[in-house]
Amino acid sequence: MTIPPAVRIQAAAVRALYALPEGLRRAIAGKSVVRDGQRLAPDAQVMLKLQRLSGVALVMPGGVGASRAAMEHSRHLVGGPTDRTVAARSVGIPQEHGESAATLYTPDGLAAGSGLLVLLHGGGWVIGSRASHDHVARFLARRAGVRVLSVEYRLAPEHPFPAAAEDAVAAFDYACAKAADLGADPERIAVGGDSAGGNLAAVVAQQAVRRGGPAPAFQLLLYPATDASTRRPSRGLFADGFLLTSADMDWFADRYAPAPADRTDPRLSPLLAEDLTGLPPAYIGTAGFDPLRDEGEAYARALKEAGVEVRLSRQSDLIHGYVNYLGLGGRFREAAAEAAEALRQAIGG
């Protein structure tokens, strides 16, 4: 994909800003932001300041189309240069409705029979794509030493709940059935995602275990949405000013699961599943300044209580979406590297 010159200039300016000495970046960030006993990282403060100045948000005034376009545009500014040491090829996943597109990422020199991550992108089930998360897929593949199958599931409002969940389950089934063709070890297939993608990954793990047969070896859940039926304290504490807002969450949910959808359905609210026993080990990463923080951490507690091996890691100084800002380095890259290392330890070489 050709990046417009104006976008290249904007991206270069952002990189130059984040290349400044730490003291200067702190000065640009301004007065420290402290909330709920947490101090926001200067890297995150600068990013939020840039976001406010640019007028770009997760939900744009132009609605679904404008919001999707803004996310695709933003990846060029904050995702960083494309890692060419990771090869990519297109894959078609058969579905009842036709075919879902996917991209298989393979790090240079990775032998056949590696672990594989089925990656489900974030974006509130409404925005986002394989393209918006290309840099995330490449980073995880290289740092964890695994193949990554990044899936293009159907989006709402054109395809409301449970379409995305159905596509996610079918993608996992495809990865298991075609593991040899994908160069993967069928015993080391993980599922993961960020935000809405983390929600879908949790749903896949539950559905696979409950029906019997192949199940994920590991879950990589990054600031996942786990309960659409209620509002926890973090929803109010970080309702506005930290990228994802409470109003955004309502907007996404109303498009993915409009009435009369049952928002207590475990395929939408995996935290509410009656039985969490027997699920695969999980790494759950949450962000301190995120309205989704409390429900992600509640899911970690529920899994532990059910006897599931869980590592919960709160990035207390960061905001929702932190793995998308790899090109900004600093704390964003550190947090993403921790998640990649958890994946490497679980299914890597």
User: Can you tell me whether residue 6 is helix, strand or coil?
Assistant: helix
320 is catalytic: yes
Report the distance separating Cα 42 and Cα 22, nearest Å.
9
Catalytic residue among 195, 234, 265, 317: 195
DSSP secondary structure code for residue 219 in this structure: E
| Closest to 157 (Cα-Cα) out of 267, 68, 230 | 68
Report the distance separating Cα 26 and Cα 39, nearest Å.
13
Report the distance separating Cα 221 and Cα 288, nearest Å.
15
Joined tokens for residue 116: 């594989």
Using alpha carbons, list the distances in angstroms from residue 224 to 171, 204, 275, 278, 296.
19, 13, 19, 20, 6
User: Can you tell me whether residue 313 is helix, strand or coil?
Assistant: strand
User: Can you tell me whether residue 16 is helix, strand or coil?
Assistant: helix
240 is catalytic: no
Letter string b/e over residues 180-216, b meaning 16 or more CB atoms within 10 A of that residue's CB: eebebbbebbbbbbbbbbbbbbbbbbbbbbeeeebbb
Q: Can you list the positions of beta strands (E) in the chain?
A: 34-35, 38-39, 86-95, 98-107, 114-120, 147-151, 184-194, 219-222, 282-289, 310-319
Catalytic residue among 248, 290, 294, 317: 290
Q: Which residue has the tokens 């960061």?
A: 318
Give ∠ CA 214-164-321 in degrees, rounded to 5: 100
173 is catalytic: no
Just list the catalytic residues. 195, 290, 320
